[in-house]
Amino acid sequence: MAIFDQAFNQNQDPNLVWDLEEFENHKRAASFVRQFQDTLCVYSGGVEQLYTNYDVSLPQDLEKNLIILPNPYAFHDTFNRVNPEAVRPTKFVIMPGELAGGKGLHIRIPFNNRKARTVPLASGLRALMRAYENEEDYFLPVIAKGDLRAFRRDLPVLHLHRLLPSQLTNASPFDANDMRKTILYRLTPYLA
């Protein structure tokens, strides 16, 4: 972890420091996000990068901050020139099962402004993939600063963003396709 911390201090990106002030239990919030470090990519609009290989840190000296630490030795796992217009917020929310009356992870999928359905995360992601499979951009979920929020000051929930490869104006078609494949590959545990 010290290597990651040193690398972060040299290349501080404020979009990789997430405030945990609204949480009563900072460790629980960090633990919730850690569940996704092998499956969801993190986007930083400040440097226009998409990180696919990172660690989640809760430094003791910065107890109220969670830090996303990109692996400095895996530069090939970072996509550059990801313009902010290509990453849009969604209304989909990942939550712990206790908020949904069950176990494990769940996702809340709104159907319109008044109705939503909460389902287990794996089935919800599979349904979203099917719903968007005929669209040019598919459903490519990513997370960004501000997506982690507190429900009743203690339970963490994670709002999702969506990468739209058709809006990647600064990336080559090859890079856009590589991002799409990488995001889908990382979601494999949920989609199998």
Per-residue model confidence as pLDDT tens digits over 16-37: 999 999 998 888 999 999 999 9
Per-residue model confidence as pLDDT tens digits over 113-158: 778 889 999 999 999 999 998 888 889 999 999 999 998 878 999 9
* DSSP letter (8 states) at residue 52: S
Tokens coding 151: 């429900």
Q: Identify how many contiguous H helices and E strands the chain contains and give both numbers.
A: 6, 12
**If DSSP codes are grouped into helix, strand and coil, which group holds residue 170?**
coil
Per the listing, tokens 């669209």 go with: 135
Whole-number Å distance between alpha carbons of 152 and 118? 18
Whole-number Å distance between alpha carbons of 124 and 100? 13
Per-residue model confidence as pLDDT tens digits over 34-61: 999 999 999 999 999 999 999 999 887 6
